[in-house]
Every structure is written in structure tokens, then in C-alpha cells.
Amino acid sequence: MRRRGRVLLFCAAGLLVLLAVAITFTIGWRPFIGPRVRATTNRQFERTPERLARGKYLVQGLLSCEVCHSPSDWTQHGAPSVDGMELAGQTMPLAGFPGTAVAPNLTPDPQTGAVAWTDDQLARAIREGIKHDGSTIFPLMPYFEFKTLSDEDLASVVVYLRSVAPVRNPLPASKINFPVNLLVQGVPAPVTGPVPPPANDQLARGKYLVKLGCGCHNVVDKLPYAGGETLGGPWGSVVSANLTPDASGIIYYSEQTFITALRTGYVGARKLNSIMPFGEFKNLTDDDLKAMYAYVHTLQPVKHRVDNTLIATYCKLCKQKHGAGEEN
């Protein structure tokens, strides 16, 4: 009996070790012990006119904060924010989401907005994925991309958010279903060192801008910037397009086609779906759009045909159904 007891104990210990190894190499321990969080500091970003202007440019343009943090009018081309509700938050109208994601009110409204959140709480939320209360931000908010936002640009975004008019807009809290709510705790990561701006040359700037602004096109491992993200909601259901310079991507775009597409949502006579934020990108300067064009043309070409005008069929490359999927 004693021997059997020891064998059982040994087996149980073995199983525990196996389980520990399995957790370490699969979901990791964050679902159990919580996200990686750094303590906030009491730093305050100096309010300068340069930062205010740069912050407005980033928030209303490249970073598309308003697309998620404001209710939009999806009946209009470019889906503008509902008048007077810019940055006032909304329950995200997403099809097939595991729960309810609420993009909070970022305006400095005392009852329903962000007035009580410190500069560093906002900064930590934007780049590191931690809410003001220390909990995890669902990675629908692209903080894993915003982590490359330079320190100066981050300060500018916060300075601008502080300057907008308060809007009263009570919203419920997000509720993410189990077990997704626990699994996402592995996503936040503190930014521990300085993040400098990109070097002052066109390609480096283009890379910086594309990394921050074009994340929906860069979601499938092994298919960098070759599209494949399914986006469903009041705009319909579309899959993000291949941006690489391949025949199945946008090699046929001239610089002018690119700039026009990003500003107007038209590629020739073809109309893009308004989930592509051309309603925001229209605010980008010629210089920035040209830098983005130059950079995407240096990407590794990837063959991945995505055509939202065709009926969705299974694609073995991104393992989803989308227009022209069976041709891949």
C-alpha cells in the first residue's frame, strides 16, 4: 500500500511538472498571475503648441483613435464620427466578438470621461495596454503596435487628448468572456527604455508610419502586410488587403493611386469599404503618404490574393474564408 501511495504521489508530481511545462510553453502564466504592469509616475507632459498640433494630427489621422473611440456614421463614405461625439467613446459594434468591448470616453468629462486619469496613466494605456485601474486593455486597441510610438509623439497625443472639449457620454464597462478575458492578460508589455523618433530619411519614416497606421494588414504570421484580417460590423464584412508589392498585392499602384486611395477611399472607380480609415488618413500630409508608399514598396512581396468583390472561399494561406481565397 505504502509503495502504491508513493507511486501515485510520484505520478501526480510528474503530471504537475508536465502541466507547468505545458503552460509555460503555451499560454504562459499571465492568465493566472495577471498582466505585466509598471507603476505609473506623476510625470506631466509639458503643454506646448507644437505638441498640441502634432497630437491632433496623430489622433485624427494616422492613429485613428476616433474610429474606435467615437460613434461613427457608417451610412456615409468614410464613416465620419457623429458630430459632437469625437472621442466620447462607444460600445464597439463588432460582429462575433467574445463579449462586449467598450472603447472608453477619452474626453476630459468629469463624470464620464478621462479627466481624473493622469498623463502617465494615459501614456501607459496607449503603449503598454494597461487601463488606469491597472487591468488589461483588450488588444482590439492596438497598443502592441502603438508601443513603437516615439516618446515625443506619445506626449503629443496625451497633450492633445487633454485639450479636447468634454463630452458627457455614460457607457457600460467592457465585458470580455471567459477564458478570453484571462488569455489576453499575456498581451500587455511595459515599455522600459526610451523610444526615439525615426531617423530623418523617407524610408525610416515610412516604416514608422506604416507600423503605427496599417496594423490591420499585418496580422497573419508568415504573411507580413499581406492582409487577412476579417473585420465584421455595421460596415459589412471584409478582409484586409495585401499591401505588399506582389501581383496579388498593390504592385500596380503608382504613388498617386496610393495617395488617392488613402485619402478618398477610391482606387480608380472601385470604392473601398469605410472600415479602411481613409476618413482619417485624408488628414495625412503628402510627405507622410509618400513615405508610406515608398516603404510598402520595399516590403517582401507575398502572394496572397484577397478580393472582397468576390464570394468568400477558403484560403489555405490565412486559413479563413475570403474573396479569391481558393486561388491561394
State which residue, 214 or 302, has the beta carbon closest to ligand HEC. 214
Q: Distances from the Cα of 86 to the Cαs of 115, 161, 284, in angstroms?
A: 16, 11, 18
Among candidate residues 74, 69, 81, the one with its CA nearest the CA of residue 141: 69
Q: Which of residues 137, 159, 209, 306 is near ligand HEC by CB under 6 A? A: 137
Q: Which of residues 51, 63, 239, 249 is near ligand HEC by CB under 6 A? A: 63
Stretch that binds ligand HEC, among 15-23, 139-147, 199-207, 308-316 (CB under 6 A): 139-147
List the grid coordinates of 80. 465620419
Binding positions for ligand HEC, 157-196, rule CB under 6 A? 157, 174
**40 phi and psi angles, rounded to 5 deg:** -80, 160
Report the first-to-last Cα separation within the chain, whole angstroms. 62
Q: Distances from the Cα of 230 to the Cαs of 41, 206, 227, in angstroms?
A: 38, 25, 9
List the grid coordinates of 43. 510625470
The answer to whether the CB of 128 falls within 8 A of the CB of 93 is no
State which residue, 138 or 208, has the beta carbon closest to ligand HEC. 138
Please give the Cα distance from 203 to 249 (Å, whole number): 20
Please give the Cα distance from 209 to 37 (Å, whole number): 26
- Amino acid (1-letter code) at residue 102: V
Q: Which residue has the cell 503629443?
A: 156
State which residue, 174 or 274, has the beta carbon closest to ligand HEC. 174
Q: Which of residues 56, 57, 61, 65 is near ligand HEC by CB under 6 A? A: 65
Q: Is 243 in the site for ligand HEC (CB under 6 A)?
A: no
Q: Which of residues 85, 88, 141, 250 is near ligand HEC by CB under 6 A? A: 141
Least separation in angstroms between CB 299 and ligand HEC: 22
Q: Which of residues 61, 71, 104, 108 is near ligand HEC by CB under 6 A? A: 104
Least separation in angstroms between CB 75 and ligand HEC: 20
State which residue, 157 or 243, has the beta carbon closest to ligand HEC. 157
Rule CB under 6 A: which residues touch ligand HEC?
59, 63-65, 67-69, 92, 101-104, 106, 117, 122, 125-126, 131-132, 137-138, 140-142, 157, 174
